[in-house]
Amino acid sequence: MVHEQEQFLDVVDRDTAERRWWSALRPEILAAEEVPLASALGRVLARDVLATVDVPPFDRSNVDGFAVQAQDTFGAAEETPRDLRINSEELTTGRMPGQTVEPGSATSIATGGVVPRGADAVVMVEHAFVDGKTLRVVRPVAPGAHITFAGTDIARGERILRRGTILTARETGILAAIGVGDVSVVQQPRVGILSTGDEIVAPGEPLRPAAIYDANSTMIADAVRELGAQPIPLGIVGDVEDELETAIAEGLAASDLLLLSGGTSKGAGDLSYRVLARRDPGIIVHGVALKPGKPICLGAAGRKPVVILPGFPTSAIFTLHEFVAPLIRFLGGRRVEKPETTTARMPFRYNSEIGRTEYLLVNLVQGPDGLSAYPLGKGSGSVTTFSQADGFLTIPRSQEFVEAGETVSVVAMGRGLSPADLVVIGSHCTGIDLLLGILNDRGFTSKTIWVGSQGGLAAVARGECDLAGIHLLDAETNQYNRPFLPAGATLLPGYGRMQGIAYRRGDGRFEGRSVTEAVDAACRGGDCHLVNRNRGSGTRILIDRLLAGRRPPGYAVEARSHNAVAAALQQGRADWGVLIAPVAAAYELAFLPLSEERFDFVIPDHRWDRPAVAAFRELLTTPEVRGRLARAGFHLDPETTP
């Protein structure tokens, strides 16, 4: 009996097909599940990860040597060594110090050992020798030398990883470093795979006449795995409607998305689309103006996606990546894949050590002349460097430096090298973390490089970022930020944040005193240690103004973040410092309000209307976002209209 063959009467273009299908499905990202860290590789984070500890959790030595006060080594040389008294204890790893390093003394310390109170540097063992109970130092060290301070790498409360991040070895290393045992990840989409047709034979079985091996199911299953989903093999069903109906029902029950291969054309033996048509809503699109792939059928059973891929392997894999792959990625919380390599320019000269091949981790930012590759400089002990890097470039061992403006080849590190939608360079603030998290939820990716306020202004002047966060006080006008605005840039009003003196509760040198009284008391006492901020930061300018030329103990030791200051205070490494109120509260430190500073954003004029920048500007006008900033301890002027 000859059956009349139906025709494709409603062929639509690709975008229309996708729009109709997604509109009918209204898909949602799958629910979260908890998995052990050992099983989390390749999975997608379901929630932001905040650090509950500082990394490192204490001030630690980076070398084998001797903990000293740096000023005791000044002027040391082979001919004129500086002699120090060696303390009785030896600080091996895992041992808490029991003695204070007094002026003129030194304590033996191993790599990874806890730096004792009183010490502000470590002399490498190669640069000193022991003579009885005397240490003879032959090379001086600067304050902070060979020490990684608590919270320098990761600060407690810092947002380490954002939801939607695919966990590679870099991210699992970070999670292990902050003590995470179980990880909240998005469930892997279960994708049912059913091959149809009387002519199909499973690989490994004898090939009978007029039959072909089922290449599609293996190809589709592996493509599904590459997309981070779990394939559910459902076998092969012949051209028998009752059997196909049963197989489809079982597949729908076992999966989040059902893929059929074959039976989508409108020939007499093509049954898949007929069986699907009995479901509700059934067939949504049947026939798309593609070559190959015209017969594809996009449908659903309820809100569960069902796709009938063409039987020819080339058409099947093409349409899988064109229509199904984006849905699988979405269900599993994944983003679009990125390119693997690119070229970029160095924004400034980078010096390398001749004689060693260097693999330099970099972040990529878009400048006026193309991509710039920003070196990441936290050092070899950092775990966050790997998480933040877009890729790396190789500097040959015979090359001493990479010149500013030089073109380099950057190799991807797993997630591609395309620039983020929004590049932020400048001073860090937890308020920015909050804003970028909201922006991420709205579909905009961001990249942050924390180089301080002045570093951010330099990046704006070079056209290498979309915005820079700054908090600089002009001593002459007593005005924040606006006097420092470079040509060709606009100031976007941000928010206020309270700066103050933080100290451990119960310290009588600060408790119950005014700011002036407290600073005077701190500067009078020889054992009251300040933890300072890095030069170029807005907080450092404020500290220098507060001290009025005085140099209390600890002044030369520079922490690079508010969290690093708080960690030094909490652990007794120092006794006072200047930071913002939200961080002091997070570390349960006492706080003397000093002054409210402005934290604003500088935007190059030519980037003002970029979509991600416009979205960021809009956030600061949204009542709900402004309320969240206020609850986090930041102050927005009612009349502010960015």
CATH number for the domain spanning 36: value is 3.90.105.10
Phi-psi label, residue 216: left if phi above 0, alpha if psi -120 to 50, beta otherwise: alpha
Q: Report whether 161 contacts 569 (CB < 8 A).
A: no
Mean pLDDT of 486-499: 93
Q: Which amino acid is at 77?
A: A
Residues 90 and 236 in one domain: no
> Residue 263: is its pLDDT beyond 70?
no
Determine the 3-state secondary structure of 582 from DSSP: helix
Q: What is the pLDDT of residue 5?
A: 41
Residues 467 and 528 in one domain: yes
Q: How many CB atoms lie within 10 A of CB 13?
A: 11
Residues 262 and 385 in one domain: no
Q: Report whether 519 contacts 547 (CB < 8 A).
A: yes
Q: How far apart are CA 152 and CA 54, in angstroms?
A: 8
**Mean of pLDDT over the chain:** 87
Residues 448 and 553 in one domain: yes
Number of domains in the chain: 5
Mean pLDDT of 428-447: 90
Q: How far apart are CA 14 and CA 21, in angstroms?
A: 11
pLDDT band at 2 (very low <50, low <70, confident <90, very high): very low
The answer to whether position 178 is within a domain reads yes
pLDDT band at 379 (very low <50, low <70, confident <90, very high): very low
The answer to whether position 200 is within a domain reads yes
Residues 557 and 504 in one domain: yes
The answer to whether position 545 is within a domain reads yes
Strand 489-503 to 590-604 pairing: antiparallel
The answer to whether position 378 is within a domain reads yes
Q: Which amino acid is at 517?
A: E
Q: For the ranges 35-44, 248-257, 445-454, which has the lowest average pLDDT?
A: 445-454
> Residue 7: is its pLDDT beyond 60?
no
Residues 612 and 505 in one domain: yes
The answer to whether position 5 is within a domain reads no
Q: What is the pLDDT of residue 382?
A: 45
Kindly report the backbone phi and psi dihedral angles of residue 204, in degrees, each rounded to the nearest multiple of 5, phi listed first: 95, -20
For residue 140, give the CATH number of its domain.
2.170.190.11
The answer to whether position 114 is within a domain reads yes
Cis peptide before 292 (omega within 30 of 0): yes
What is the biggest distance separating any 2 CA atoms in the chain, rounded to whole angstroms? 108
> Residue 414: is its pLDDT beyond 60?
no
pLDDT in tens, 143-191: 999 999 998 888 888 899 999 999 999 999 999 999 999 999 999 999 9
For residue 432, give the CATH number of its domain.
3.40.190.290
The answer to whether position 7 is within a domain reads no
For residue 320, give the CATH number of its domain.
3.40.980.10
For residue 376, give the CATH number of its domain.
2.40.340.10
The answer to whether position 45 is within a domain reads yes
Q: What is the pLDDT of residue 355?
A: 58
Q: Indicate the pTM of the whole model.
A: 0.60
Residues 299 and 373 in one domain: no
pLDDT in tens, 533-573: 988 677 888 899 899 999 999 999 888 788 889 989 998 98
Cis peptide before 189 (omega within 30 of 0): no
Mean pLDDT of 206-234: 88
Residues 552 and 430 in one domain: yes
> Residue 626: is its pLDDT beyond 60?
yes
Q: What is the pLDDT of residue 383?
A: 47
Place of tokens 């390599």: 341
Q: Report whether 328 contacts 225 (CB < 8 A).
A: no
Residues 124 and 194 in one domain: no
Residues 200 and 324 in one domain: yes
Render 392-460 in DSSP notation, one character per residue. Answer: EEEE-TT--EE-TT-EEEEEE-SS--PPPSEEEEE---HHHHHHHHHHHHTT--EEEEE-HHHHHHHHH
Segments forming the whole domain that contains residue 244: 14-28+188-331
Q: What is the pLDDT of residue 302?
A: 92
Determine the 3-state secondary structure of 68 from DSSP: strand
Residues 23 and 39 in one domain: no
Strand 530-533 to 576-580 pairing: parallel
pLDDT band at 61 (very low <50, low <70, confident <90, very high): very high
> Residue 100: is its pLDDT beyond 50?
yes
> Residue 384: is its pLDDT beyond 60?
no
Residues 458 and 377 in one domain: no
Q: What is the pLDDT of residue 639?
A: 46
Q: What is the pLDDT of residue 388?
A: 66
